[in-house]
Amino acid sequence: MMFGTVVRTLLPLLAAVSVGARMMSKAELHAKQVEAVARIRANLPRAAAAGTGVKNITFTNPRASEFYVDGTTIPDVDWDIGPSWSGLLPISSAANETRKLFFWFFPPGPQGSLDDLIFWTNGGPGCSSLEGLLQENGPFQWSYGQAHPTQNEFSWTNLSSIIYLEQPVGTGFSQGKPNATDENDVAAQIVGFLQQFLDVFSELQGKKLYLSGESYAGMYVPYLANYIYEHPGALNLNLTGFFVADPVLGWDVVQEQIPAVNFVHKYEHVFSFNQTFMTELDAIAAKCNYADYMEKHVTFPPKGLLPLPGKSTEADRGCDVWDMIFDAALTVNPAFNIYRIFDTWPILWDVLGFPGSFFQTQSPIYFDRPEVKAAIHAPNDTTWAECSDINVFPRGDRSLPPSFTVLPNAIEKSQRSVIVHGLADFILISEGTRIVIQNMTWNGLQGFQTPIQNDSFVVDGMGALGQTHTERGLTYFEVALSGHMVPQFSPRAAFQIMEFLMGFRENP
């Protein structure tokens, strides 16, 4: 009798909950989403809320017209993105120079600065910076699963001019035979290209320059910054700061292996491994000195130089937990994406043909279409791929990771410098970047002296979205929900970070 009474009492409540859950219409749901987007836009004064347009830049050198791109003729883009300039330029003024790099330059949007120039490069090595343009921070965006390109209100052209460069030689549309042996060779070639670029587009001379990039650009950007600082007469540009996201800065064992098992525990419901496998991973992590590395060695301030967990800079024999995790993740989720671990089946179509961790043959690849090549003055006889099959370092990159060499000098000579890391990135893991920073000495001290505070990165209109910490000219950001490509996966956060780097906001 009592049981029946309880059931009769609960039934009206359950019915109300059920009906209430069905009461939110699609229109109401959409209205809530629109309201959330409006809050973000309201706190983004430099972003274009609607419409297009650019600030006028007139280039007096007649050669500039050879590179002009009509913003109404970009294939599949159904609005006028405004004028831009793209094409190939050599890396030196030598008459017999055959090595050329492909660039695409955009002037600033209506709210952007005419006094600044952003340089962007993707990584790889050998991956095209046109990915950054099309799927991260360019004025039009065509990301995974999108049927058509859309306007990017978080475009960095709302901050200043930006040049996307396909480099080193062997990347994208670039021409010639790769011969770089190390990062100093690459830096010299980029500076040589920029000299030719500034000859044609001389009105850009004297601008404040900000170097930016992601992934293997963690190698490119610090070495390039160091090269420019150490060759002050080479460029008529004022290098002011740099931004590297999810960067290669140290050894593989540090940035991948040490933090891998902790990463799986943090996201255990995403990986969904069984307890037998988790026990095996924990045992290997303990045996290989990974398990308690952060607690023992990553202190604020550091107690001294941080040790390798074993003898190898990659992984000692039997200690490659990163690959074990990757293989197991693919078993559970065939669409597991090392660049953003939240992805699931089916793999979204990608106009650039490189969806996440997978190579999927797409047809046609956007930048390999003849009409696209014609619109942007790209060589029609070059087969474009997002990441080149050509070895851009024919004998390997002989440079040491920049945290041991040039990164401290680049930080010390910059007004501001930024390291960013997406917390959902598995190919390079944020805890590993923390280890690199705590092992590096710049401006007279090793590492950060005080701890990084949780929830300290507050994104306007969104709230706390990770952590940030500043000491001695270096600001470090961790961005929640973002994978490897922060401007793609968390564009509002990336935009705010660039605002800070460029001095458009005082605090991160």
Residues annotated as part of the active site: 215, 425, 484
Look-up of token digits 């933090």: 259
How many beta carbons lie within 10 A of that of residue 193, not counting itself?
Answer: 25
Q: Which residues contact 348 (CB under 8 A, 6 or more apart)?
A: 144, 145, 355
Q: Of 115, 101, 162, which Cα lies nearest the Cα of 137?
A: 162
- Using an 8 Å Cβ cutoff, are 159 and 499 in contact? yes
Q: At what angle do helices 275-287 and 258-266 cross, to 10 degrees?
A: 150
How many beta carbons lie within 10 A of that of residue 450, not counting itself?
Answer: 9
Q: At what angle do helices 183-200 and 217-230 cross, to 10 degrees?
A: 70
Alpha helices in 43-172 (DSSP H): 130-132
Q: Which residues contact 14 (CB under 8 A, 6 or more apart)?
A: none
Q: How far is CA 451 from CA 32, 428, 434, 457, in A?
A: 37, 21, 11, 14
- Using an 8 Å Cβ cutoff, are 428 and 248 in contact? yes
Q: What are the structure tokens assigned to 283, written together?
A: 């045992």
Alpha helices in 110-163 (DSSP H): 130-132
> What does the alpha-carbon distance between residue 403 and residue 405 come to, in Å, rounded to a whole number?
6
How many beta carbons lie within 10 A of that of residue 260, not counting itself?
Answer: 25
How many beta carbons lie within 10 A of that of residue 256, not counting itself?
Answer: 23
Q: Which residues contact 311 (CB under 8 A, 6 or more apart)?
A: none
According to DSSP, the residues that pair with 211 across neighbouring strands are 119, 242
